[in-house]
Amino acid sequence: MATTKEIKNRIKSVRDTQKITNAMYLISSTKVTKAKKELEQTRPYFDMLKEQMVSMIRIADDMKSDYLVARRSAEEDIVRAEEEPSEGRVGIIVITADKGLCGAYNQNVLKEAQRLISEKGAHKLYVIGEYGRHWFLGKDDSLDEAFDFTNMDPTLDRAREIGDYVIEDFDEGVIRKLYIVYTAFKNGLTGGAPQSTELLPFAKEDYALDSDEQKGVSESTEYMPDVVTVFETIVPSYVKGFIYSAMVESFCSEQSARMTAMDAANDNAEDLLTSLNLEYNHLRQGAITREITEISAGSRAQKRAKELQEARNRKE
């Protein structure tokens, strides 16, 4: 059985840990608010870029670009993986945290990434976040080790650098498709959910209009020097914007998950402190009771000895 000193040391240790988890909760709360504000300030610009791309895809039916295909084909990935395992791979950006202590956040993202990898076959991994990089090291030889980016406090400059890196691989034919796996932020209560999105190429079928809708599409817009050039100029900016948005949403989801984990840790610490205090009080009360019992027994023994001595003295 633990002594009162050991329990007091344990109580002190739990309280010190609780101070740390409470501080981490407050820090994560501040980071979520800041990241959401930055995303809201930049999102309208990239939403406008997407609208322009959709408009060009719908207007120019005969537009040909490496960034555009007629339709998506899941079967094509499997066939190409079997026929050309060393070239024309599928690029997959995976966004994880830089550290743990955020519940199942990292594991959920990695599980979605593994599902996509098994589905697409030959691939090349671009991992953002130290947790994911360490997880894939030694497990997947397609990890691009030169691609070393953190997801701590994401910025637009970092997203542009990442976008330039992966788009260059796409333009050079190192990868023929580009996917991104991240955690879409919902709200502070439910956190986020991992999801995968195909960034490149765009599929015309995703933006096709029926005959009635097609009549309402204006063809009066002029693009200089031509629609293909404008489209291929906008696409990289849109991809970088999507990467930035995904990084911020993942960061918000990570901090939300960490808030939930730290809140649970605080609650567990309170329960543990209650249990330890109760055990400490029981031991302390038992020790006091034993001391009182020993004092009472000693007092009675002295009284009895005194009475016996007085009886001997009377006999004498």
CATH number assigned to the domain comprising residue 102: 3.40.1380.10
Question: Which two structure tokens, joined as six digits, stand for 133?
Answer: 């990089």
pLDDT tens-place string over residues 171-218: 998 999 999 999 988 765 566 789 999 988 888 777 665 544 444 445
Number of structural domains the chain divides into: 2
- Is residue 303 located within the same domain as residue 203? no
Q: Is the pTM of this model over 0.85?
A: no
Q: Is the pLDDT of residue 155 over 50?
A: yes
- Is residue 147 located within the same domain as residue 280? no
- Is residue 190 located within the same domain as residue 274? no
- Is residue 109 located within the same domain as residue 192? yes
Contact by Cβ (8 Å): 63, 56: yes
Q: What radius of gyration do the chain's Cα atoms show?
A: 33
Q: Is residue 18 part of a domain?
A: no
pLDDT tens-place string over residues 70-86: 766 655 554 444 444 44
Question: Which two structure tokens, joined as six digits, stand for 257?
Answer: 């998950």
- Is residue 38 located within the same domain as residue 139? yes
- Is residue 145 located within the same domain as residue 40? yes
For residue 73, CA distances in Å to 66, 77, 79 come to 16, 7, 10
pLDDT at 307: 73
Do strands 123-128 and 191-200 pair parallel, antiparallel, or not at all (unpaired)? unpaired
- Is residue 233 located within the same domain as residue 288? no
- Is residue 173 located within the same domain as residue 194? yes
Residues 6 or more apart from 274 whose CB is under 8 A from it?
none
Q: Is residue 16 part of a domain?
A: no
Q: Is residue 186 part of a domain?
A: yes
Residue 208 lies in domain: 23-257
- Is residue 188 located within the same domain as residue 81? yes
